[in-house]
Structure 1
Amino acid sequence: MLIAKRTSRLGRQYTLIRDGRVLPEFVLKRRSAQFTVDDSGYSVRLHRFSRLCELFGADGAVLASTDRVGWRWNLHASGQDYEFRQTAMPGREYTMAGEDDPAAGTIQRNGPADSTVTADLPLLKPELEAFVLVAVLLNRRRKRVAAGIRGGVSAG
């Protein structure tokens, strides 16, 4: 199980906790993030218009990608596709569908103001589990920023 806890009031800095061990913090930027799992560095980039996420290894090679995070989306990694479905409104919970099990894992946003995100995806490698968690956080950040811009424009 992987947990991301927000450590700053602005909601951009998170601490990763994996099986009780605290991993290095990561910062969500507008369309990117960098994190470390098992002493290996990874970076994530969210494409501006297509909203696809890509996971890059330390050498810059693409290791995995996601479709646009929404009601239904897929993780593409190592020649396999993993399907995710939104199971709670509005984007508070996603369920990963397995081959034999319709609920092979979950991602949940909870806590006050979504301050904690939990990923329990036992079928995925640790770096892919962290990538999916970061992709959900980047999508949430993008929606919050867009809502703020729309609110400012309509306010006058």
Structure 2
Amino acid sequence: MTFLMVNVLLMLTWAAVSGSFTIPNLLLGLAVGALSLWLVREQFAAARHRVNPVKLLVLTAVFFKELSLSAIKVALLVIRPDMQLRPGIFAFPLTLTRDFEITLLANLITLTPGTLSVDVSEDRKTLYVHALDCHDPAAEKRAISTGFERRIREAFPL
């Protein structure tokens, strides 16, 4: 059942990103989701019993909220005539320990406009993030920690 629910979430994400909720596009999203899950089937099988479906939906909702807010923020930054950008890279201390969780966090950060995951330290305790406007790295770290990172821990409990 978890496989089906994750595949449906992937399908809906596909439709939202492509901007088309037609039947053929939904079927294509379902096929791409199934292929993606098949490619990571061993990792998925290991984590399958530890997924909280409600919290996974909350994580998805938080991602779409952050996606929207970040897109608006970046748009407002770039249309300003003076464009006062302060790009920078900051080190985000990870509390997530599993590769799947770290990869998910890095991907969610990269998919959010204005931020990009650059690297993970060899000991997997630090994620380096580039921000388009990094005037307050502490606030960026707090936002990631209380947003995506916390929601990932809740959706995939140990």
Structure with bigger strand share is 1
Q: What TM-score do you get using the length of structure 2 for normalisation?
A: 0.30
Q: What TM-score do you get using the length of structure 1 for normalisation?
A: 0.30
Structure with bigger helix share is 2
